[in-house]
Amino acid sequence: MNWGEQIVLGLLLGGVYVAVGLGFSLVWGVLNIVNLAYGAMVMVGGYLTWLLFVHGGIDPFVGLPIDVVVLFGIGYALQYVVINRVVRAPFLYTFLITFGLDLIIVNALLLVFKPDFRSVTTWYSGAAFAVGPVLVPYIRLWSLLAAWALAAVMWWILNRTRTGDAIQAVGADRDAAQLVGISLRRTYALTFGLGAACAGVAGALIATFQAITPTAGEPYTLQAFVVVILGGLGRVSATVVGGMMFGLVEVLAQSAPHLGAGYQNAIAFGVLVLVLLLRPQGLLGRTL
């Protein structure tokens, strides 16, 4: 594979990481919760896409709005019923409760779907078009465009709607937001629901080019963390930059001697440590 192909594939993979990082960044930035159940929610989105495709004949990209609605409902309910009870508790409490939710979701998926690999294989899964000497897979390109569209919608919600104003106000100062009449409980649930919706989209995109299992979401929690650290916490544009750069770094690093597809986590940790040492606030973010 030449350098041109590696750069193109890295940027296309970065689109998936944009979708993965958006919801994680939102929940962390507003609720100050590092959601360890995020990867499990990504897999819920993947399995929902598989169900819609296999049993409903719905194209994975056409089914994205269904993923958004279902995962938003799941995230809203989890936050409103469970996490809201400890949202003001010390960091360790929320850390542990999201870890517990991760175990529950993964084991529920194992109970329903078993540990078998599932994949969404469409008629265009292996199709690509050529740009000079570089082959661009249609499914990866559409995933990139879907991720950018998701980022645009999230930016619009956060910057052009009253709900977004409330979310940002709570993220800036929850006590002051409450004093002006913003419902913290509802805003927290909306924020977590939007984060889960982003996870659902990410899972749907991942299922189009990678086989999924109930436990396959764990690396995406780490990768979402790296994307947020790399780009910076608190801005949609920062997450987009972080996701695109991480996809590029991962593909280029895997082409290095003695590395391969089994080193994603090592690469993620390496990038994380490097960014924390050189620029802990991220490329575009505020100081953490």
Taking residues 103-112, report their average pLDDT: 96
**Length of the chain counted residue by residue:** 288
Q: In angstroms, rounded to a whole number, what is the distance separating the alpha carbons of residues 74 and 107? A: 16
Taking residues 189-208, report their average pLDDT: 96
Taking residues 252-263, report their average pLDDT: 64
User: Two tokens at 7?
Assistant: 């750069």
21 lies in some domain: yes
261 lies in some domain: no
Predicted local confidence at residue 24, as pLDDT:
95
User: What angle do the packed helices 3-31 and 218-231 form, to 10 degrees?
Assistant: 90
251 lies in some domain: no
Q: In angstroms, rounded to a whole number, what is the distance separating the alpha carbons of residues 268 and 265? A: 5
Summarised one tens digit per residue, pLDDT across range 157-173 is 999 999 999 999 998 88
Summarised one tens digit per residue, pLDDT across range 35-45 is 999 999 999 99
**CA dihedral sign, ordered 92, 97, 100, 105:** negative
250 lies in some domain: no
Q: Is the pLDDT of residue 260 over 60?
A: no
Q: Is the pLDDT of residue 288 over 50?
A: no
Q: In angstroms, rounded to a whole number, what is the distance separating the alpha carbons of residues 204 and 68? A: 10
User: 3-state class of 189 per DSSP?
Assistant: helix
125 lies in some domain: yes
Find the domain containing 8 and state its range.
3-214
Q: How many structural domains are present in the chain?
A: 1
Is the pTM higher than 0.85? The answer reads: yes
User: Two tokens at 99?
Assistant: 């870890």
Summarised one tens digit per residue, pLDDT across range 221-245 is 988 988 888 888 778 988 999 899 8
232 lies in some domain: no
209 lies in some domain: yes
User: 3-state class of 226 per DSSP?
Assistant: helix
286 lies in some domain: no
